[in-house]
Amino acid sequence: MNDIRLSKWRFHYGDCPEAWYKGFDDNSWEEVAVPHDWSVHMPFSREYSSGTGYLAGGIGWYRTEFCLPEELKDKRIYITFDGMYKNSQVWCNSYYLGKRPFGYATFRYDITSQAVFGDAVNSVSVKLDHRDISDSRWFTGSGIIRKVVVTAEEPVHTEYNGIFFTTPEVSKEKAAVKVFTPLVNETSEEAEVTLTHSLVLKDESFLSFRTELSLSAGERREVTLEDCLPSPKLWSVKEPHLYKLVTEINASQRNGSLISSQNYETMVGIRSLLFTPDKGFFLNGEPLKLKGVCIHHDAGCLGAAVLPSVWLRRLESLKEMGCNSIRMSHNPHMPELYDLCDAMGFLVMDEAFDEWENPKNKWWNGHNVYPPRHQGYAEDFPQWHERDLTDLIRRDRNHPSIILWSIGNEIDYPNDPYCHPLFETMTGNNDKDKPAAERQYNPNKPNAERLSVLAGNLTAIVKQSDTTRPVTAAVAFPELSTRIGYIDTLDVAGYNYKEEWYEQDHGRFPDKPFLGSENSHSLDAWKAVRDQEFIAGQYLWTGIDFLGEAQGWPIRGSYAGLLTTAGFQKTSYFRRKSFWTDKPFVYITTSREDGENGDTSDNSSREWKEMFRSYHYLPGEGIEARCYTNSDSVELFLNNRSLGRKAYDDSLGYISFIFPFEPGELKAVGYEKEGGQQNNVTDALSTSGAPCGLRLECFSPCEESLSCNKEFIKSILQNDGLLLKQIEITVTDEKGYPCLTDSTLLSVSIEGGTLLGLENGDLADTTEYASPVRRAYYGRLLAYAAAAPEEKTVLTVSGSGLKERSITL
């Protein structure tokens, strides 16, 4: 049987204690599509937590029904939830299945004994409780935020997430292949089992190996098979070749009659990875700097109910920038995102927790605005951490993209909550804006030495399920953590914003690999990685703006990203691209010279000056044009008149021109150093006219981003459950030139489909996400729409003074 995707549900906001019962009448409930996040359908209000984006939580109930064919009566039936936030309780046909507090966990229930078949209807009820909305430092969402699937398996099968594919030795000539498979016989008789593994690439089998064994009734046995694959296609960031591991389990009685036949398919990659203390990171024996970004799991107006195609668009943009690695901050993300990283060639740091047995500060009235609150995962950590961590490792360990397991983020943040007597001898160990009592030793707070014990235990849990990848953590306070044994428990030391300690601690821990697990966007932070061979890489905070961790009303999210919540590229994106890519390019940005957008008195402050992708100022006004480029020099032209040619300045990270504003066109031309020849990269920026038009473009992935895994990526997107379309809307002048300073109120309507949401990237815009009206932000707006599968879908956009425009999806 094919998996049954449970996408259509009924939803009730608020408690409904009788809704667990199969015969409960839910006809008055709202019909919703899962994944579903009820928080983003609520109004923003400063009455809620700034940490979670000023959006409501509460209690919610979901119910759905499905049928199972009669021929499945002898099978094992399971229901799998990829993520429900949070405190889930589940019933099937009025039978209570269990609870799971952790909202990011993927888990399943065996419903074989509860299921009914044929014309009989199965009922599933889910209760979620997210009343403690200050339980996180970022937006979590509320609801069944990831997909739900019902599956059937034969009675002789492998354990859930049991298959484990590894490649102990890898070269271009051959790869040693090892597959671990825990087999289970849930019949009442002995079974003769043939276990076969095949490696398939583009529908051609390249390797097949098998074994035969007997399993008594009720027996569980672990089986490991090994073989060698000649001339393997290696998985890399540039050519992420994926094989399909087909596992076949045939079970027969002693007389030869077939009991069952079960197949599993697992996408795998053949690659080697190595972190070294002196030379950094190696992939397939070649050195590689990790050019990474941290991401949270939301997508603006979609909240936490994100579909794979949204991530495809975002990852495609990050890849073009030169990013080759993703840190899954600070929790397990949706499974399809890891599939896309496999298929597109991203390396992944997979992170489990943001707090352990003691809660961190959670901000209610703005980031670092006291007093904090202290709800969160710490309440569940003692009982659930081993299961949650183990489930994460076993779910994700076959992804070739994953190179690191992170057991925690900034658990050692000083006085939040852990403390230590050494604080009395340390300065600068905490945020200067905190109250004095929060910046000194407090014997009543948990002792930081406990961290080394906890970290050791968590590392051991990881190693029980995977010894092929190193364990790390994002360390906030290495000044202390290197003295209390915390760093010693980690295979790789990850430092957050502590580049100044790299060299010294490398000397103190000569056998320990180091990387920047979270870093600022500064040029100096990049140089600390670029210019020191032993540092494996860095992860910028962040790659994409996100909801929550807000500074204070009405700002409801973080602007820390290189992409907005709408996935649009900021000017800082192109600055980073100039650091991280070799493909020649040049990009013009402008701002007023007078420092209105930032003090320009020195390089460090000039670095953070806000620059704009527009050329629209007052006549004669002093203008700075910054060219972000990886060319050796750039010549700038204003209305075909040269303003000079300047060499790239590595102390600035850009090329700057100062001149009085004159309307028209700026054009930048890049040159190579050798011979001073033009390298055929140019960019132009023109003064736009009055806004009067609209441009609508529906996102379509470029062939390059699909790489060598086009069919696999298509299968991921087809599993959306919706025909999701992403329409980029741009306000233009009469010549079609973008008006990137415009903020016209735009209205969006749709025929034949469903408008899922509008996102402009403006985190100060408190318009309800459910509204079909939203202002353009810097001249742009993104619409998410679900196209109708069997009829024409037309999306129409209008705004005051603008010519209405439609697009057929």
- 417 prior amide bond cis, ω within 30: yes
Query: How far does Cα 208 stand from its chain's mean position?
Result: 35
- 371 CB-near residues (< 8 Å, 6+ apart): none
The 10 Å Cβ neighbour count of residue 650 is 8
Residue 157 β-bridge partners: 184
DSSP single-letter state for residue 499: G
Q: Is 449 a known active-site residue?
A: no
Question: Measuring CA to CA, how many Å separate 683 from each of 589, 626, 627, 628, 669?
Answer: 10, 12, 9, 10, 7
Note whether 339 and 318 are within 8 A (CB).
no
Contact between 623 and 616 (Cβ < 8 Å): no
CA separation for the pair 384, 386 (Å, rounded): 6
Contact 170, 114 (CB under 8 A): no
Give the CA dihedral 422, 427, 430, 434, nearest 10 degrees.
Answer: 110
d(CA 632, CA 215): 68
User: Cα separation of 152 and 150, whole Å?
Assistant: 7
The conformational region for residue 237 under phi > 0 = left, psi -120 to 50 = alpha, else beta, is alpha
Cβ atoms 696, 738 nearer than 8 A: no
What b-and-e string marks burial along 291-316, b requiring 16 or more CB atoms within 10 Å of the CB? Answer: bbbbbbbbbbbbbbbbbbbbbbbbbb
**Can 18 be counted among the known catalytic residues?**
no
- Strand 492-496 relative to strand 471-475, pairing: parallel
What secondary structure does DSSP assign to 675-720, as a single string? GG-EEEEEEEEE------EEEEEE----HHHHTT-HHHHHHHHHTT
Candidates 316, 438, 518, 549; catalytic one:
518
| 38 alpha-carbon distance from chain centroid | 20
Residue 514 buriedness (CB in 10 A; 0-12 / 13-18 / 19+): buried
Instruction: Determine contact, residues 92/122, Cβ cutoff 8 Å.
Output: yes
Catalytic residue, chosen from 410, 438, 479, 624, is 410
- CB-neighbour burial class of residue 754 (10 A; exposed 0-12, middle 13-18, buried 19+): middle
Q: Are strands 122-130 and 88-92 parallel, antiparallel or unpaired?
A: antiparallel
What whole-number distance in Å separates Cα of residue 600 and Cα of residue 617? Answer: 19
How far is residue 1's CA from residue 353's CA, in Å, rounded to a whole number? 36
Containing 328, the helix (H) or strand (E) segment is strand 325-328
Report the candidate in 338, 313, 540, 352 with the shortest Cα–Cα distance to residue 454: 352
Question: How far is 124 from 4, CA to CA, in rounded Å?
Answer: 13
Check: CB of residue 447 under 8 Å from CB of residue 418.
yes
Residue with tokens 């736009």: 688
Residues known to be catalytic: 410, 518
